[in-house]
């Protein structure tokens, strides 16, 4: 199970964005509206990786445009980072969810390791085009996709790590020289928290650990 055969070699971001709609690299494309590819300037210096599109992203076709996206925008702003200068994508390009009752919002399901690995060729292709100076992993799924299954966001968030030297497969992630990765919580954790302000502040503090570039 892998997206490999569906990723056009050497393609530009726009071409990749078109091609991902035909991906059958894992079963997650079934029962979705569309694949959601990354977005942002092709010359972005910062690449932000989330988990997978949510209900709203699946309908609209753009990453982080729902409630978690609003938290992300606010947190980036509070940390002095401008969303419009950042390339934002997800580890998995199709929305994994439980079927919902008619008219109800579909409930997100965490992608598993096989799906993350299957979808990785798309993420690798995005790295090859962007060659980021800074990488931000939002939450456990993104962190595991980039750093391997043993990485713990709860323990190692907000710490700049040499990139891609810290990656599970460094050769997979073309990046600028002296690049750095910072892992943090997923913005949706803020929405689920009892103390939203404190969790939001933690997210912002982690984002401030991203060295200026």
The interface region with ligand URA, picked from 16-24, 25-33, 49-57, 129-137 by CB under 6 A, is 49-57
One of 92, 130, 136, 167 touching ligand SF4 (CB under 6 A): 92
Radius of gyration of the chain (CA): 16
User: Residue 37 in contact with residue 93, Cβ under 8 Å?
Assistant: yes
For ligand URA, the binding residue among 25, 54, 164, 202 (CB under 6 A) is 54
Cβ of residue 187: shortest distance to ligand URA, in angstroms? 7
The span of 23-31, 41-49, 150-158, 159-167 binding ligand SF4 (CB under 6 A) equals 23-31
Shortest Cβ 191–ligand URA spacing (Å):
10
Distance CA 3, CA 100 (A): 27
Under the binding rule (CB under 6 A), the answer on residue 93 touching ligand SF4 is yes
The rounded distance, in Å, linking the Cα atoms of 24 and 190 is: 33
Q: What is the dihedral of CA 1, 20, 191, 70, to 10 degrees?
A: 160
Instruction: Work out which of 13, 51, 111, 144 binds ligand URA, going by CB under 6 A.
Output: 51
Q: Work out whether 64 is an interface residue with ligand URA (CB under 6 A).
A: yes
Start-end of H helices in the chain:
13-19, 55-60, 67-78, 113-130, 139-147, 153-156, 187-192, 196-208
Footprint of ligand SF4 (CB under 6 A): 3, 20, 23-26, 28-29, 35, 92-94, 118-119, 122
């Amino acid at each position: 199970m892998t997206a490999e055969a569906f990723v056009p070699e050497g393609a530009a971001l726009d071409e990749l964005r078109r091609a991902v709609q035909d991906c059958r690299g894992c079963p997650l494309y079934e029962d979705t509206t569309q694949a959601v590819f990354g977005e942002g300037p092709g010359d972005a210096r910062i690449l932000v990786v989330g988990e997978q599109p949510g209900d709203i992203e699946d309908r609209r076709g753009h990453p982080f445009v729902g409630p978690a996206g609003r938290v992300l925008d606010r947190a980036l702003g509070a940390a002095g980072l401008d969303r419009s200068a950042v390339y934002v994508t997800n580890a998995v390009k199709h929305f994994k969810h439980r079927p919902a009752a008619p008219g109800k919002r579909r409930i997100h399901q965490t992608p598993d390791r096989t799906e993350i690995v299957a979808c990785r060729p798309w993420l690798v292709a995005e790295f090859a085009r962007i060659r980021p100076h800074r990488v931000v992993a939002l939450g456990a799924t993104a962190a595991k996709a980039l750093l391997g299954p043993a990485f713990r966001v709860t323990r190692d968030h907000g710490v700049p790590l040499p990139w891609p030297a810290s990656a599970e497969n460094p050769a997979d992630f073309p990046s600028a020289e002296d690049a750095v990765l910072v892992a943090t919580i997923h913005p949706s954790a803020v929405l689920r928290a009892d103390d939203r302000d404190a969790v939001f502040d933690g997210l912002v503090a982690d984002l401030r650990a991203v060295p200026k570039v």
